[in-house]
Amino acid sequence: MIKPIGSDELQPLFVYDTTEHEKLSKEAEGLPSVVISSQAAGNAVMMGGGYFNPLKGFMNVADAMGAAETMTMTDGTHFPVPVLCLLENVDAIKDAKRIALRDPNVEGNPVLAVMDVEAIEEVSDEQMKTMTQKVYRTEDMDHVGVAAFNSQGRMAVSGPIQVLNFSYFQTEFPDTFRTAVEIRNEIKEHGWKKVVAFQTRNPMHLAHEELCHMAMERLGCDGLVIHMLLGKLKKGDIPAPVRDAAIRKMVELYFEPNTVMITGYGFDMLYAGPREAVLHAYFRQNMGATHFIIGRDHAGVGDYYGAFDAQTIFKDEVPKGMMDIEIFEADHTAYSKKLDKVVMMREAPDHTKDDFVLLSGTKVREMLGNGMAPPKEFSRPEVAQILMDYYQEQKKASA
**200: nearest Cα among 82, 80, 330:** 330
Instruction: Report whether 153 contacts 37 (CB < 8 A).
Output: yes
Pairing of β 223-229 and β 260-265: parallel
C-alpha span between 312 and 156 (Å, rounded): 32
Q: Who's near 345: CB < 8 A, 6+ residues apart?
A: 331, 332, 333, 334, 351, 356
User: Which ranges of the chain does DSSP label H, i.e. alpha helix?
Assistant: 18-29, 38-48, 61-70, 125-136, 144-150, 169-172, 180-190, 206-219, 240-254, 273-286, 309-316, 361-369, 381-398
DSSP string, 239-300: PHHHHHHHHHHHHHHHS-TTSEEEEEE-------HHHHHHHHHHHHHHTT-SEEEE-TTTT-
Closest CA to 44 of 35, 52, 34: 52
Q: What torsion do the CA atoms of 38, 41, 43, 45 make, to the nearest 10 degrees?
A: -130
* Residues that are catalytic: 201-202
Sequence-distant (6+) residues with CB within 8 A of 5 are 53, 54, 78, 282, 285, 286, 322, 323
Mode of pairing for the β-strands spanning 195-200 and 291-294: parallel
Closest CA to 205 of 324, 60, 342: 342
Rounded Cα gap, residues 297 and 232, in angstroms: 19
Chain length of the chain: 399
